[in-house]
């Protein structure tokens, strides 16, 4: 039984994009690179998805732009699910604002994708000042523990998480 896994974390260069495909291409290349190095878990940085703000009119108020970014969630989750599956890698896919109700409430949430196509979501619990005041992003509640079967790691050393 293995006692270790290979984890890749990355920095992400945010540049303007004209299409979702221009966002997808470097993301796909980063996942492929991690898989080529036999990584079992890839961790994207928080809010790397803000690059998608450049798809719209960037001179609008930031609260409007953040809510527009939340509309990219289906396309974003589809991409990350596909990449995790295609490259047999677990992916913590940074974070993206999510519209959580009809009252225009938005939370910052991170997705954890498994190679099987399953995924979980963890909302950010503590907002920074600019998230709360400038962006109008609300804190989530509750903490989730994800316990994937990464490489049959010796679970006795991890302890029980149930």
Domain coordinates of the chain in residue numbers?
A: 7-158
The rounded distance, in Å, linking the Cα atoms of 110 and 147 is 16
> Which pair of structure tokens corresponds to residue 142?
């509750």
pLDDT at 150: 65
* CATH 3.60.110.10 is held by the domain 7-158: yes
Report the alpha-carbon angle 136-140-146, nearest 5. 140
CB 73 within 8 A of CB 94: no
pLDDT digits (tens, 9 = 90+) for 18-75: 999 999 999 999 999 999 999 999 999 998 999 999 987 888 999 999 999 999 999 9
Model confidence band, residue 2 (pLDDT cutoffs 50, 70, 90): low
- The model's pTM: 0.86
The rounded distance, in Å, linking the Cα atoms of 19 and 56 is 10
Helices of type H across 37-139 = 62-70, 73-86, 129-130
Model confidence band, residue 144 (pLDDT cutoffs 50, 70, 90): confident
pLDDT at 157: 44
> Which pair of structure tokens corresponds to residue 123?
């909302």
């Amino acid at each position: 039984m293995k006692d270790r896994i290979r984890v890749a974390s990355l920095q992400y260069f945010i540049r303007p994009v004209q299409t979702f495909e221009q966002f997808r291409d470097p993301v796909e290349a980063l996942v492929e690179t991690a898989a080529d190095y036999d990584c079992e878990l890839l961790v994207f940085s928080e809010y790397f998805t803000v690059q998608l703000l450049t798809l719209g009119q960037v001179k609008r108020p930031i609260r409007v732009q953040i809510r527009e970014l939340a509309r990219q969630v289906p396309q974003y989750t589809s991409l990350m699910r596909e990449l995790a599956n295609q490259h047999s890698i677990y992916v913590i896919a940074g974070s993206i604002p999510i519209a959580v109700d009809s009252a225009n409430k938005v939370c910052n949430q991170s997705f954890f994708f498994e190679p099987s196509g399953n995924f979980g979501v963890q909302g950010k619990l503590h907002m920074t000042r600019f998230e709360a005041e400038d962006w109008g992003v609300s804190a989530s509640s509750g903490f989730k523990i994800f316990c994937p079967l990464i490489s049959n790691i010796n679970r006795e050393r991890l302890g029980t998480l149930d």
